Chains A and B, each alone.
Chain A
Amino acid sequence: DSGVTQTPKHLITATGQRVTLRCSPRSGDLSVYWYQQSLDQGLQFLIQYYNGEERAKGNILERFSAQQFPDLHSELNLSSLELGDSALYFCASSLASGHSPLHFGNGTRLTVT
């Protein structure tokens, strides 16, 4: 158990809809990262927050947004969903923003129909 909790585990929704994925980092971790894993793809970095502030952005679409709350949990909001957004979305956390291993949750599987 990595200590990172992601909810829900599965999500099925229709095109055009909006969903929110939730992540609780390991106790004490200040950094939260979001990754997307599509079919036959590696993990694509989306966005990072550190202690409530956005720290880095990767390949995140404008339809997607995220935030980290004062209690350090994070939410990833996906809107105007398209079929191609179907993927596994992983949250990871680490103690700091420097070189340290990321600890991943078990992911949320999003299916857009």
Chain B
Amino acid sequence: DQQVKQNSPSLSVQEGRISILNCDYTNSMFDYFLWYKKYPAEGPTFLISISSIKDKNEDGRFTVFLNKSAKHLSLHIVPSQPGDSAVYFCAASASNYGGSQGNLIFGKGTKLSVKP
């Protein structure tokens, strides 16, 4: 049972436009959400996070939106740059889930291609 779902395996966007990556989750116990970026041959790199007590968090060109009632979050990248081309993973965790707050449940990722 996949608790974190990224239904779009890939997304192609023109440079300078907005990239919107989506993520859905099923476990209502999740209270902390993160986005990671992964380049080939490297480990995932933390991008941005949001706690369930917020509905928006912004860091430069990256904004994450959380809709708890819909169990949905999204990552907006504005403006998109060719260097943003990577696989983006959505992840979630819950306090006291399996005895730990820290272990993250990941989606399968969305491959973003930003074209010049």
A interface residue numbers (CB < 8 A to B): 2, 4, 31, 33, 35, 40-45, 48, 50, 55-58, 90, 92, 94, 96-107
Say yes or no for B83: interface residue by CB 8 A criterion: no
Q: What are the 3 tightest A-B residue pairs by CB atom distance, in nearest-first order?
A: A104-B43, A56-B100, A42-B108
Instruction: Assess the B46–A45 pair: CB atoms within 8 A.
Output: no
CB distance from B40 to the nearest CB of A (A): 11
Instruction: Assess the A4–B99 pair: CB atoms within 8 A.
Output: no
A63-B54 Cα distance, complex, nearest whole Å = 41
Instruction: Assess the A101–B105 pair: CB atoms within 8 A.
Output: no
Which chain B residue has the least Cβ–Cβ distance from A40? Answer: B108
B interface residue numbers (CB < 8 A to A): 4, 31-32, 34, 36, 41-46, 49, 51, 89, 93, 95, 98-109
A13-B99 Cα distance, complex, nearest whole Å = 34
Partner of A57, one of B95, B98, B102, B107: B98
Instruction: Assess the B101–A43 pair: CB atoms within 8 A.
Output: no
Query: 10 interchain pairs (CB within 8 A)?
Result: A2-B45, A45-B103, A50-B102, A55-B100, A90-B44, A94-B102, A97-B101, A99-B31, A101-B46, A103-B46
A56-B51 Cα distance, complex, nearest whole Å = 21
A96 / chain B contacts, CB cutoff of 8 Å: 102
Instruction: Assess the A104–B102 pair: CB atoms within 8 A.
Output: no
Instruction: Assess the B101–A99 pair: CB atoms within 8 A.
Output: yes
Partner of B100, one of A35, A43, A97, A105: A97
Partner of A55, one of B46, B99, B108: B99
A43 / chain B contacts, CB cutoff of 8 Å: 44, 89, 104, 106
Partner of B98, one of A58, A100, A102: A58
Partner of B43, one of A50, A56, A100, A105: A105
Instruction: Assess the A102–B46 pair: CB atoms within 8 A.
Output: yes
Instruction: Assess the A48–B100 pair: CB atoms within 8 A.
Output: yes
B49 / chain A contacts, CB cutoff of 8 Å: 101
Instruction: Assess the A33–B103 pair: CB atoms within 8 A.
Output: yes
Instruction: Assess the A42–B102 pair: CB atoms within 8 A.
Output: no
A45-B94 Cα distance, complex, nearest whole Å = 14
Given contacts A45-B105, A56-B100, 13 further A-B contacts (CB under 8 A): A40-B108, A42-B107, A43-B106, A45-B104, A50-B102, A55-B99, A55-B102, A56-B99, A90-B43, A97-B101, A99-B95, A102-B46, A106-B42
